Every structure is written in structure tokens, then in C-alpha cells.
């Protein structure tokens, strides 16, 4: 190697002789890193707590996780179907009477 160039023993880079302090085998950059105070990271020991809501009991005829999903029109149809099912359960006799009339009107 030429007298103008030297290889650092730490980073293994070939650097100009001006980058070394006298006859040192380590470049100035690596010397500064070695003498600098070691940086220690303080481990964040934070404890996070989450408030978990209790699951609501499932209502009959309601599929869990379907509310609020999908297109507005689809959600409106789904709400209408659920309400019709509930009405049919609550007023079974009236529902049967109305259903019979509508089927007769359709020729069924």
C-alpha cells in the first residue's frame, strides 16, 4: 500500500493517511465511536390496561358482527327482514292471516 493510504483495523476501510491519528491502526471516526459514552436505551416498562366491554347477549335472529357492514341499501333490507321476522313471531296469528290474503292475491 502507498504511504498516503491505510486500512483501518476496525471498519476495514482504506482511508487517506490524514484520517488516522499518528501511527494508530484505527481511523479517527472509529476512535471517536470507541471513546464516546455508550448509549443505553431505557426500556420502557409501561403497563397498558385496556377496558374490555362485556359481550352483549346475542338477540334471537341477529347474526353477530353483521350490523353496520355493507352497502346502505343492503343494510336497510337486512333490517327490514329482521323486523318482519320479529313481527311474525310477535303477531303470529295476524301475520298468518295477512300472508294468506297476499298469497291468494298472487294466485298461490
**Which CA distances in Å does 41 have to 26, 32, 35, 38?**
27, 20, 18, 10
- In-domain check, residue 45: no
Look at the chain and report how many structural domains it folds into.
2
pLDDT (tens place) for every residue of the chain, 108 residues total = 567 899 999 899 999 989 888 888 899 998 888 888 676 666 556 667 777 767 666 666 556 665 666 788 888 888 888 888 888 888 888 888 888 888 888 887
- In-domain check, residue 23: yes
Q: Which residues form the domain of 76?
A: 72-106
- In-domain check, residue 55: no
Taking alpha carbons only, the member of 13, 47, 41, 39 closest to residue 28 is: 13
- In-domain check, residue 44: no
pLDDT recorded at residue 79: 86
Amino acid at each position: 500500500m502507498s504511504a498516503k493510504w491505510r486500512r483501518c483495523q476496525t471498519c476495514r476501510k482504506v482511508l487517506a493517511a490524514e484520517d488516522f491519528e499518528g501511527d494508530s491502526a484505527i481511523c479517527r471516526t472509529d476512535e471517536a465511536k470507541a471513546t464516546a459514552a455508550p448509549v443505553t436505551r431505557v426500556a420502557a416498562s409501561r403497563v397498558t390496561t385496556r377496558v374490555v366491554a362485556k359481550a352483549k347477549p346475542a338477540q334471537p335472529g341477529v347474526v353477530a358482527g353483521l350490523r353496520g357492514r355493507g352497502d346502505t341499501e343492503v343494510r336497510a333490507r337486512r333490517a327490514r327482514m329482521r323486523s318482519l321476522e320479529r313481527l311474525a313471531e310477535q303477531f303470529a296469528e295476524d301475520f298468518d292471516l295477512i300472508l294468506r290474503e297476499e298469497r291468494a292475491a298472487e294466485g298461490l
